[in-house]
Amino acid sequence: MSPDTTRRSDRSRRAVLAAARDLVVEVGYPRLSIEAVARHAGVGKQTIYRWWPSKGAVVLDAVRALSEDETGGITLPDTGDLEADLKTVLRATAVEFGDPALSALLRGLYAEIAVDPELAMLYREQVDRPVTEAKLARLRAGQRAGQLHPEADLALCLDLLYAPFVQRWLLRTGPLDAAFADALVEATLRAFAPVGDVE
């Protein structure tokens, strides 16, 4: 492709993702249509289907583009204090999930992922994995610094930290506030404390 074509493609791609983001907030995921996304983005429907196999794939990409915009690369804060850093991160995540636009996008994505194994795989590889790697790196640093049990299962540690958070958001069972974020961090760190009640 010529540089001009690449620029045009890139502009179209970003227009499609922005349109998907805006429309999912406006009409909700179930009523989001590829037709409407194409119209709002000023591209043909075929252009969208050339790049994305499904509505779910467009929304997945819109979510990914959003986290790219915000963080560039993904690095978690490391002040040397694991508990404080995890609280910072989880509180910030609570604020992010409170944003109606991101929340609507993610809800649409979760709805599709629940019933679409292909999309679940894309989500794990393209959205979840880079973030998980960054989180694991921070936990490993804490483990090296003696703030986690030397044999702690760090993947399980991440599960305890984040899954209750996502579940509360998904099922709307309670507020995603700083108190909940802090309580999760404290409970998880107790479970993997350097000198714990490990049998």
Q: Are 38 and 45 in contact (CB under 8 A)?
A: yes
Tell me 172's DSSP state: T
The CA distance from 167 to 16, in Å, is 29
Q: Are 181 and 90 in contact (CB under 8 A)?
A: yes
Q: How many binding residues for a second copy (CB under 8 A)?
A: 48
Q: For a second copy, which residue of 38, 62, 123, 176 counts as binding (CB under 8 A)?
A: 123
19 binds a second copy (CB under 8 A): no
190 binds a second copy (CB under 8 A): yes
The CA distance from 179 to 187, in Å, is 12
Least CB distance from residue 74 to a second copy, whole Å? Answer: 18
36 binds a second copy (CB under 8 A): no
Q: Using CB under 8 A, which of the segments 15-23, 61-69, 86-94, 187-195 binds a second copy?
A: 187-195
187 binds a second copy (CB under 8 A): yes
Site string for a second copy, 93-122 (x = CB under 8 A): --------------xx-xxxxxxxx--xx-
For 134, the 3-state DSSP assignment is helix
C-alpha dihedral (178, 183, 188, 189), degrees to nearest 10: 90
Q: 120: which 2 tokens?
A: 């679940």
Q: For a second copy, which residue of 16, 29, 48, 91 counts as binding (CB under 8 A)?
A: 29
Nearest to a second copy of 43, 109 (CB atom): 109
